[in-house]
Amino acid sequence: MKNQKNRETDFAKGLEGIVSNTTRIGYVDGEAGKLSYRGYDIEDLAEHSSYEETVYLLLNGKLPTLSELEEFTDKLKGNRTVADEVMNRITHLPCPCHPMSMLRSGISLLECIDDTCRIAEDLEEKKEAGIKLIAQTATLTAAVARHLQEKEPVPPDPALPHGANFLYMLRGERAKPLEERVMDLSLILHADHGMNASTFASMVVASTLSDLHSAVSSGIATLKGPLHGGANERVIRMLTGISSIAEAEAFVEKVLAEKTKIMGFGHRVYKTYEPRAKILQGYAKKLTELTGNEELFEIAQTIEKRVTEAYGSKGIFPNVDFYSGLIYHSLGIDESIFTPIFAVSRIAGWVARILEYLEDNRLFRPRAVYTGPTDLPYVPVRERG
User: Minimal CA–CA distance to 245: which of 328, 301, 291, 325?
Assistant: 301
pLDDT at residue number 4 = 45
The DSSP letter of residue 382 is G
DSSP codes joined into one string, 155-215: ---TTS-HHHHHHHHHHSSPPPHHHHHHHHHHHHHTS--SS-HHHHHHHHHHHTT--HHHH
What is the SS3 assignment for 48-113? HCCHHHHHHHHHHCCCCCHHHHHHHHHHHHHCCCCCHHHHHHHCCCCCCCCHHHHHHHHHHHHHHH
Catalytic one among 193, 228, 334, 375? Answer: 228
pLDDT at residue number 231 = 86
Catalytic one among 41, 267, 334, 360? Answer: 267
pLDDT at residue number 117 = 55
Q: Which residue ranges make up each domain of the chain?
A: 26-226+335-358, 231-330
pLDDT at residue number 1 = 42
Check: CB of residue 252 under 8 Å from CB of residue 240.
no
Catalytic one among 321, 329, 334, 375? Answer: 321
pLDDT at residue number 2 = 44
pLDDT at residue number 119 = 61
Stretches where the chain sits below pLDDT 50 are 1-6
Check: CB of residue 128 under 8 Å from CB of residue 70.
no
CA atoms of 350 and 333, how far apart (whole Å): 24
pLDDT at residue number 196 = 94
The count of residues in the chain is 385
pLDDT at residue number 183 = 98
- 321 catalytic? Reply is yes
CA atoms of 148 and 93, how far apart (whole Å): 12
CA atoms of 95 and 128, how far apart (whole Å): 33
Overall pTM > 0.95: no
- 228 catalytic? Reply is yes
Check: CB of residue 220 under 8 Å from CB of residue 197.
no
Looking at domain 231-330, its CATH superfamily turns out to be: Cytochrome P450-Terp, domain 2 (1.10.230.10)
Looking at domain 26-226+335-358, its CATH superfamily turns out to be: Citrate Synthase, domain 1 (1.10.580.10)
